[in-house]
Structure 1
């Protein structure tokens, strides 16, 4: 099902564009396979790589993906249940700065990722059609529940593209 532009905020369009027109649960599963292949191919040293000084390490990117997915799951649940209050933005850099992802073994990050992804699939698989179309205020934008799922998937695809374009080439040199 195609998500319409009026179902999410303008800032999030780049993520929805990457994920739209694919069944959400299928996309979440295929993304998870790609992420798990990536996790399993990295050493602890590789996972600490960053392609520029002011960029996050791969471990920090993985932690950011988990945190963001958890936040969007919470937002989806709130909107699905009819939360009347606006849900605020979050500062991704503050979250990464206050989590010591670099000290976590890659296997623990993978465990956190997989547990979060299983929850996401279960959550979105059980929303009714009516719940998926409910609207709420997220980061100052009107959002449908289903659009939050496509933001999760598209945000991950965005970072997978960055990993493939900027991180992995630096690891193979």
Structure 2
């Protein structure tokens, strides 16, 4: 299934921009290509610029990268639970609270890259292990229905969203 074919009833409308960012991409290629694209971007960021933020109140580059990692972990967990037919509703999470506690300012580029690579490889392995015919299984997260496949597409689309922000607002400013 392509992201553009995903029924809107399988995810909260808040995530529509992430789904739309993928267009006609299939799930597994989007996860796999996303790994390559993000590793390439991270390796090109100078270590000295991880603490850069383009404006007051915005996240640093390291914090943006840690948000990707934390969010992907949370969405992996949701996908696993829903695929395994867990019916307990899951609460939302406050990304700003996570950023305060993620320790981004103490991490090196190599540490962030290693952590990101491990998490994305885990996502690829997780979604590869799922049988195609059960990807439409769903559960409740943040008071909304979420399907397993929607969570995979959101992981990919969330990364594209942040890649674009890093390219447009951060990396142009630090070259």
1:30-45 matches, within 5 Å, as 30-45=33-48
Aligned to 1:135: 138
Q: How many residues align?
A: 172
Structure 1: 4+ residue segments shifted above 4 A: none
* C-alpha distance in 1 between matches for 2:23 and 2:149: 11
Within the alignment, does 1:58 sit opposite 2:61 as a pair?
yes
CA RMSD across the alignment: 1.0
Structure 1 residue 131: Cα displacement: 2.4
CA contact (8 A) 1:20 1:150 kept: no
Distance in 1 (alpha carbons) for counterparts of 2:144 and 2:24 = 22
After superposition, residues 17-166 of structure 1 pair within 5 angstroms as: 17-166=20-169
Q: Could you tell me how far apart the structure 1 residues matched to 2:55 and 2:121 are?
A: 32
3-state SS in 2 of match to 1:45 = helix
Distance 1:18 1:57 in 2: 23
Secondary structure, counterpart of 2:97 in structure 1:
helix
Is there any run of 5+ residues in structure 2 with no aligned partner, and where?
none
SS at match of 1:142: strand
Flag structure 1 segments of 5+ consecutive residues without an equivalent: none
**TM-score normalised by structure 1 residue count:** 0.96
User: What TM-score comes out, normalization by structure 2 length?
Assistant: 0.95
Deviations 1:92-133 (A, max 9, x none): 000000111111011000000000011000100111123201
Aligned twin of 2:7: 4
